[in-house]
Amino acid sequence: MQTNFLVIGSGIAGLTYALKVAQDCPDKDVIVLTKTQSDETNTKYAQGGIAGVMDLDKDSFDKHIEDTLIAGDGLCNRHTVEIVV
């Protein structure tokens, strides 16, 4: 099997990326792989909700990056967090 974009995971991040790349590169193939069923994702188990910067007067992308790195307990790749946030 060959594809231009292979997305691992069918959670909110994986599907968001798959949709974005499909829109940006309509002539390319996108395949989404998941461990079990497409709706069996960690996203639906997120107890704290989905984090994001919603109010730039009270929050910032830098604060969100730092919060993510702290919550990741040193396991997150800073560069990746900066890109994703």
What is the 3-state secondary structure of the chain?
A: CCCCEEEECCCHHHHHHHHHHHHHCCCCCEEEECCCCCCCCHHHHCCCCCCCCCCCCCCCHHHHHHHHHHHCCCCCCHHHHHHHC
The amino acid that residue 58 corresponds to is K
Can you name the residues that pair with 32 across neighbouring β-strands? 7
> The pTM is what?
0.53
Residue range 35-83, pLDDT digits in tens:
888 777 777 776 666 778 888 899 999 999 999 999 899 899 999 999 9
Residue 16 has what pLDDT?
A: 94
